[in-house]
A and B are shown apart, each in its own frame.
Chain A
Amino acid sequence: MKPNLENLKEYTKNVSLSSGEKFDMFENIRNYSNNNPVRSRYSVFMKHSIAYASMFALLIGTSATSYAAERSLPGDILYPVKTNINEEVAKTLSVTKKQKAKTNVKLVEKRMSELTEMVVKEKDSPEKIDIIVQKLEEHREELEDYIEDIEENNTENSDDATEIYAELESVVESHLDILEEIKEDEETESALNIALTALATTSRATSTAQVTTTTDVTIQINTEGNKASTTNNTSTATDTDNVITGEEDAVNEITNFSSKIGPLLDSVKAKTQQNIATTTKIKDEVRKKIIEDTERKLQIDLDEEVNSDIEL
Chain B
Amino acid sequence: MNQREIFEQAYIDLADSIFRYIYFRVFDRDIAKDLTQETFYKVWDYLAKGKDIENIKAFTYRTAHNIIVNHIRGIKPSISIDELDETIGFEIADTSQEDSKQQAQDIASILDSFKILKDADAEIMKLRYIDDLSIQEIAEITSSTENSISVKIHRLLEKLRTYHKES
Contact = CB atoms under 8 A, between A and B. Distances in A.
A22 B2 CA distance: 23
Interface string B130-167: 11100000000000000000000000010010000000
Contacts of A33: 4, 7-8, 44, 48
B20 A16 contact: yes
Interface stretch (A38-46, A51-59, A226-234, A242-250): A38-46
Interface string A6-18: 1011011111110
Nearest to A26: B11
A5 interface: yes
A7 to B, nearest CB: 9
Contacts of B125: 5
How would you classify the secondary structure of chain B's contact residues: helix, strand, loop or mixed?
A: helix
Q: Which 3 pairs show the lowest CB-CB distances between chains A and B? A: A40-B50, A14-B91, A16-B16
Interface string B9-32: 001100110011001100000000
Contacts of B157: 5
A173 B130 CA distance: 98
Given A25-B36, A38-B3, 4 more contacts: A3-B103, A5-B157, A29-B44, A39-B50
How would you classify the secondary structure of chain A's contact residues: helix, strand, loop or mixed?
A: loop
Contacts of B23: 15
A199 to B, nearest CB: 63
Contact of A25 (B15, B49, B90, B92): B15
23 contacts: A3-B103, A8-B129, A9-B129, A9-B130, A11-B92, A11-B107, A12-B20, A12-B107, A13-B132, A14-B88, A15-B24, A16-B16, A16-B91, A21-B33, A22-B15, A29-B11, A29-B41, A33-B8, A36-B48, A38-B47, A38-B48, A40-B50, A41-B50
Contact of B44 (A6, A32, A41): A32
B87 A4 contact: no
Contact of B41 (A4, A13, A32, A40): A32
Contacts of A39: 48-50
A38 B50 contact: yes
Nearest to B17: A16
Interface residues of B, number: 40
Interface residues of A, number: 31
Interface of A: 2-6, 8-9, 11-17, 21-22, 25-26, 28-30, 32-33, 36-43
A265 to B, nearest CB: 74
Nearest to A29: B40
B45 interface: yes
A281 B19 CA distance: 102
B129 A15 contact: no
A201 to B, nearest CB: 68
Contacts of B19: 15-17
B110 interface: yes
A85 B139 CA distance: 62
B11 A12 contact: no
Contact of A11 (B7, B103, B131): B103
Given A17-B16, A17-B33, A8 B110 contact: yes
B15 to A, nearest CB: 6
Interface in B30-86: 33, 36-37, 40-41, 44-45, 47-50
Question: Which of B48, B87, B103, B160 is most buried by chain A, counting CB atoms within 10 A of its CB?
Answer: B48
